[in-house]
Amino acid sequence: MTNQEDTAAGEGAAENRGPTHSGFVALIGATNAGKSTLVNRLVGAKVSIVSHKVQTTRAIVRGIAIHDNAQIVFMDTPGIFKPRRRLDRAMVTSAWGGAKDADLIMLLIDSERGIRGDAEAILEGLKEVFQPKILVLNKIDRVRHEDLLALAAAANEKIAFQETFMVSAVNGSGCDDVMNYLAKTLPEGPWYYPEDQISDLPMRQLAAEITREKLFLRLHQELPYSSHVETEKWEERKDGSVRIEQVIYVERESQKKITLGKSGDAIKAISTASRKELSAILEQPVHLFLFVKVRENWGDDPERFREMGLEFPRG
């Protein structure tokens, strides 16, 4: 679909709503601040994978929500941290690039951790980014109210946030206030996407992300960070089902053994969990076949970066 067709779709979907608003909102924050959980909550559907493993989100994922007359495009960015490897550098660069491309920046801070380490560095970095900014304190159900007020005051001393919100991405507390604010604050203009679209992620890539989530949930303590999933084949069958073949890339033979598990129990559990979720998303039967391949130093392969939607850092 062309940009003109996209615009027409947005205008047609909202022609009876009065003046429409639309814009891109970049969520940035330290790793495991809850950005993906919050995006899924605000969109009202799963568009970004979630796990306890840090740096789960590797590239920008866009989740699209409609609220009142506004289409809000949330950009779930990789967590910002001090990079050590090439992949780390690509992820952090992607996160800051997303912030600079957005109409509005939403800084998410884990209320339990407060302004320490990466969060403090992000606040310093935001001084060089000139888009409007709002502060969102997450996990407020775990912190005393007076501590939340002190945290909000400390963050606002460092950056001139337009508004401060306190939310729980898990139970939804405070999220309506965020949506109401964004709907009236984003620029007036046509919608960018059709009304029923909730993400711009290609289905093949979303399927790979779902499997990667199940991989991390099953093996996050045993399997190192360096694993990657790609959808290699997607076949729509005459009986209404779909056959999907995916490859899990790891860097060493020992990691392959962990991924397969004793008698193949780990890979079976991962496949079953991923297949069930994909069947629900696609609303059709799914036949999922997973293969595990060793590719040493895949984190230095430009092709893998392109598959992830990241720019390959040179040097």
49 pLDDT above the threshold of 90: no
Amino acid 157: pLDDT: 95
56 pLDDT above the threshold of 60: no
Task: Tell me how far the alpha carbon of residue 157 is from its chain's centroid.
Answer: 28
b/e map of 248-287 (b: 16 or more CB within 10 Å)? bbbbeeebbebbbbeeeebbeebbebbbebbbeeeeeebe
For the chain, what is the mean pLDDT?
84
- Coil, helix or strand for 239? coil
Amino acid 114: pLDDT: 92
The amino acid present at 275, given as its one-letter code, is R
The amino acid present at 232, given as its one-letter code, is E
Matching residue, tokens 């999933």: 229
42 pLDDT above the threshold of 80: yes
55 pLDDT above the threshold of 60: no
**Phi/psi-derived region of residue 222, left when phi > 0, alpha when psi is between -120 and 50, beta in every other case:** alpha
pLDDT, tens digit, 9 for 90 and up, residues 273-311: 999 999 998 899 999 999 999 988 766 777 767 766 666
78: tokens are 């990789």
pLDDT, tens digit, 9 for 90 and up, residues 198-256: 888 778 888 998 998 899 888 876 765 668 899 999 999 999 999 999 999 988 899 99
- Coil, helix or strand for 63? strand
Matching residue, tokens 């568009």: 47
Q: Dihedrals φ, ψ of 157, to 5°?
A: -70, -30
Contact in structure between 193 and 6 (CB atoms under 8 Å): yes
- Which residues, 6+ apart, have CB-to-CB distance to 289 below 8 Å? 243, 244, 245, 246, 271
Split at pLDDT 50, 70, 90, the class of 90 is low
What does the alpha-carbon distance between residue 106 and residue 182 come to, in Å, rounded to a whole number?
A: 10
C-alpha dihedral (235, 238, 239, 243), degrees to nearest 10? -10
- Paired with 108 in beta bridges are 29, 136
Cα–Cα distances (Å) from 94 to 57, 87, 310, in that order, read: 11, 11, 7
86 pLDDT above the threshold of 70: no
Lowest-pLDDT range of 77-91, 93-107, 162-176: 77-91
What does the alpha-carbon distance between residue 261 and residue 3 come to, in Å, rounded to a whole number?
A: 47
Cα–Cα distances (Å) from 108 to 32, 67, 105, 177, 202, in that order, read: 10, 20, 10, 15, 26
Entry pTM? 0.74
Classify strands 286-294 and 242-250 as parallel, antiparallel or unpaired.
parallel
Please give the share of the chain, as a percent, with pLDDT higher than 90. Answer: 50
pLDDT, tens digit, 9 for 90 and up, residues 136-167: 999 999 999 999 999 999 999 999 899 999 99
- Which residues, 6+ apart, have CB-to-CB distance to 216 below 8 Å? 49, 51, 52, 53, 56, 223
Amino acid 122: pLDDT: 86
Task: Tell me how far the alpha carbon of residue 118 is from its chain's centroid.
Answer: 18
Lowest-pLDDT range of 55-69, 130-144, 165-179, 199-213: 55-69
Amino acid 218: pLDDT: 87
Cα–Cα distances (Å) from 75 to 59, 61, 94, 137, in that order, read: 10, 6, 11, 18
What does the alpha-carbon distance between residue 7 and residue 312 come to, in Å, rounded to a whole number?
A: 31
